[in-house]
Amino acid sequence: MTLPLPTTTVAPPREWSAVLFDLDGTIVDSASEIMDSLAHMFSEMGLPVPDQETLRSYVGPPLLDSLRMTAGFSDVDAWEALNVYRDHYDDHLLHSPVFPGVEGVLQAVHAAGLPIALATSKPESMARAVLAHTGLEQYFTVVAGASDDEERSTKADVVAEALRRLDELGSDTSDAVMVGDRGYDLLGAAAHGVPTIMVEWGYGSPAEATDALAVVHSADQLRGLLIG
């Protein structure tokens, strides 16, 4: 993130019943790998590779939608481009490091007895591979991501699925909170009445955090807001 996010003065409740986490930009620093695969995709599609700032804007939102709306692909070309991207990224997705301190937050929240759900726009199969590779899967009660056919791809849809799976397991989701780094996380969670804590180390801009419950600049700060 190139600019500091303003810290809000709104204090979250002292206790949450469940915590939902975004993946890219929140748990793992995957921008480099994603951007490299995007550059490969544009090149393979016979198009000029966008500048770094434009490539970074693709990190976070559902990619198929971005290819249509931002890149201007037709539906057919967007799917072709998505498959080219996935083939390349599949060989690089395990290279992304976990952000400093985040594993400690997950450990602490898990130890406190709170159910943790992953809610990511990354395909669920890829998200599970990342969690398995990093050793973080042990902390998650459920893992919800985009479906391979993109029928479930928006953050609102993914959050709904994460909440549904938690409910099925008997977890209390009445006071759930989302942790993310982009405005898409905030809007997707808000669609289900879930507030969002934004992390400053991700890929969003200050404008995206305007309606966040709080903004944190460190893992210690995040831990404090989640479990006190």
Positions annotated as catalytic residues are 22
> Cα Rg for the chain, rounded, in angstroms?
17
The continuous run of DSSP H or E covering 41 comes out as: helix 31-44
The continuous run of DSSP H or E covering 82 comes out as: helix 75-89
138, burial (CB in 10 Å: exposed 0-12, middle 13-18, buried 19+): exposed
CA distance 54 to 102: 27
Are 182 and 154 a contacting pair, CB within 8 Å? no
CA distance 63 to 81: 10
